[in-house]
Amino acid sequence: MAVAPAVASAERSGIDFSLSPDQELLREQVRRFAEERIRPGTAERDRERRFPHEVVGEMGELGLLGMLVDEQHGGAGADVLTYAIAVEELARVCPATAVTMSVSNSVCCWPIARFGSAALRARVLPELAAGALGAFGLTEPGAGSDPASLRTTARREGDEWVLDGEKTWITNAGLARWYVVVARTDPAAGKRGISAFVVPGDAPGFAVGEPEHKLGLRASRTAPIYFTGCRVPADHLLGSEGEGLRIAMATLDHSRVGIAAQAVGIHQRALELAVGYARDRVQFGVPIARHQAVAFRIAEIATDLAAARALTYRAAVAAGGGEAEGDGEGADDGEGAGAAGAGTRGAGAAARDAGRLAAQAKLYASEAANRACQASLQLHGGNGFHDDYEISRLYRDVRVTTIYEGTSEMQRLVVARHLLRG
């Protein structure tokens, strides 16, 4: 048995953990922008629950709000890993600003680019790519982890769709120019009676409620939105009638990479803060970094970060390599993967696996980032509990990463479904 195939050494390793020069450059640029333009007002905006209009405007000018839009429509045409790196670097400085950017890219631009008609794409994407914000309306008061139970309706009237209902927890609500909204078009068809629409922020019958007060991400805007006989043109339907849930699930499969990247950025900062504090803070006559309990905790945070980042980057590469087709918690069709890991995956399986890999990345990275912030705050002692220390804000901000765009529990269901389908 020939176990050692004869190949030139340059071709031997398919595995490559390095980033491309473009990706390295983008990381540097976004880091510099975040440090210089975002960091100075971060604590104050958090305290005042103030949205960073100016910063977001600059992000639009830099092309950060249309990273996944192709160049033909005025976007950056970036690959998903490059996008994830940008989210990570923004989250390292301000998780609230990162989610504003991530939502616009992942759950508004992406489904429109992927499922919109040519005319709709031409009308909407250039605006989004130029810096207009986007939003995504799926969750309702009674439909959180179970989006198929949503009650917002859309009925066809002539050349228009008429929407009625309400959506909650809408990031960028009231600030967005465009909303991707999921509504029921056929009450008798269950999961297949749901459709997705693109709604402009100035549509008649569309209204935005009061911003929510949240534990964290206070400089991001979250509010309910209401549809009262809200009319949109017929060609604002994404995909076909009845495809809405599949589109929503595919969108979440994709966007989870962005949330995983947000968690990685927060985790990275929690580590930096722990290292800095442990080196400076002296107790018992030595920097606390010299106490083994502290040093070992830092080793654990760093190792968990390496694991979370590896899963996230792998999911990003897979998300770029193939389209996740709504094979998520709400849909019951599509192809599954084999047992865990590369051990049983065949060629091209990475593309089919994209949804599972995103769920794994989001699950692991968000849980790990929560552990990291908890540990980093503990290393700061009483100071970590004080608003003057950055870790106290990160500790609040990180909490939502195990909840939004699918709770950890929903990620586990998605992963288990793939595993058990064999």
Partner 1 sequence: MDVELSEEQKLLRDNVRRFAEEVVRPRAKEIDESGEFPRAFFNQAGELGLAGVAVPEQYGGAGMDVVSYCLVIEEISRVCASSGVILSVNNSLVCDPLLKFGSEEQKQELLAPLAAGRKLGCFALTEPGAGSDPAALRTTARRDGDHYVLNGSKVFITNGTDADLALVFASVDLGKKHRGITAFVVSADSPGYARGGHEFKLGVNASGTTELVFTDLRVPAQQRLGEEGEGFKIAMATLDGGRIGIAAQAVGIAQGAFEEALAYSQQRQQFGQPLASFQAIQFYLADMATEIDAARLLTWKAAWAKENRKRYTLEASQAKLFASEMAQRVTNHALQIHGGYGYTKEYNVERYFRDARITEIYEGTSEIQKMVISDWVLNQD
With residue 405 as reference, give the H or E element that holds it.
none
Catalytic, out of 210, 367, 405, 409: 405
Question: By C-beta, is 215 or 340 nearer to partner 1?
Answer: 340
Give CA–CA dist 332/350, Å, rounded.
20
Give the residue among 107, 37, 112 at the shortest CA–CA distance from 74.
112
- How far apart are CB 154 and partner 1 at their closest, in Å? 33
Return residues touching partner 1 (CB under 8 A): 1-5, 7, 9, 11-20, 23, 81, 271, 275, 278-279, 289, 292, 295-296, 298-300, 302-304, 306-308, 310-311, 313-314, 317, 339-343, 347, 350, 360, 363-364, 409, 411-417, 419-420
422 vs 417: CA distance, rounded Å: 9
Can you tell me whether residue 236 is helix, strand or coil?
helix
Answer for the pair 193, 246: CB distance below 8 angstroms, yes or no. no
Euclidean distance between CA atoms 39 and 219, whole angstroms? 12
Closest distance between partner 1 and the C-beta of residue 6, in Å?
9
Instruction: Answer for the pair 69, 102: CB distance below 8 angstroms, yes or no.
Output: no
Pick the closer one to partner 1 by CB: 82 or 195: 82
CB of 10 to partner 1, least distance (A): 11
Q: In the complex with partner 1, which residue's Cβ is closer, 158 or 422?
A: 422
Extract the tokens encoding 120.
Answer: 């709709």
In angstroms and rounded to an integer, the radius of gyration of the C-alpha atoms of the chain is 22
The CA angle 171-176-182, to the nearest 5 degrees, is 65
Q: Provide, rounded to whole angstroms, the least separation between the CB of residue 38 and partner 1.
A: 23
Task: Supply the minimum distance, in Å, between the C-beta of residue 65 and partner 1.
Answer: 24
| Beta-strand pair 153-157/206-208 | unpaired
| Residue 11 or 202 having the CB closest to partner 1 | 11
Report how far residue 275's alpha carbon sits from residue 298's, in angstroms, rounded to the nearest whole number: 7
Instruction: Please state the closest distance from residue 131 (CB atom) to partner 1, in A.
Output: 29
Nearer residue to partner 1 within complex by CB, 89 or 304: 304
Of 30 and 414, which has the nearer Cβ to partner 1?
Answer: 414
- Closer CB to partner 1, 18 or 188, in the complex: 18
Query: Is the separation of the CB atoms in 266 and 229 below 8 Å?
Result: no
For residue 178, list its beta bridge partners: 134, 200
SS3 at position 110: helix
What is the smallest separation between the CB atom of 80 and partner 1, expressed in angstroms?
11
44 among known catalytic residues? no
Angle at the Cα of 145 (from 194 to 240), degrees rounded to 5? 20
> Nearer Cβ to partner 1, position 15 or 188?
15
CA 417 vs. chain centroid, Å, equals 22
Tell me the two tokens of residue 350: 């990475």
DSSP-assigned beta bridge partners for residue 225? 167, 208
> 24 and 32 in contact (C-beta within 8 Å)?
no
What value, to the nearest 5°, has the Cα angle with vertex 369 and ends 363 and 373? 150
Q: What is the Cα–Cα distance from 191 to 62, expressed in whole angstroms?
A: 39
What is the dihedral sign for C-alpha 359, 239, 112, 151?
Answer: negative
* Minimum CB distance to partner 1, residue 407 (Å): 12
Nearest to 222 by CA among 139, 315, 306: 139
Give the residue numbers marked as catalytic: 405
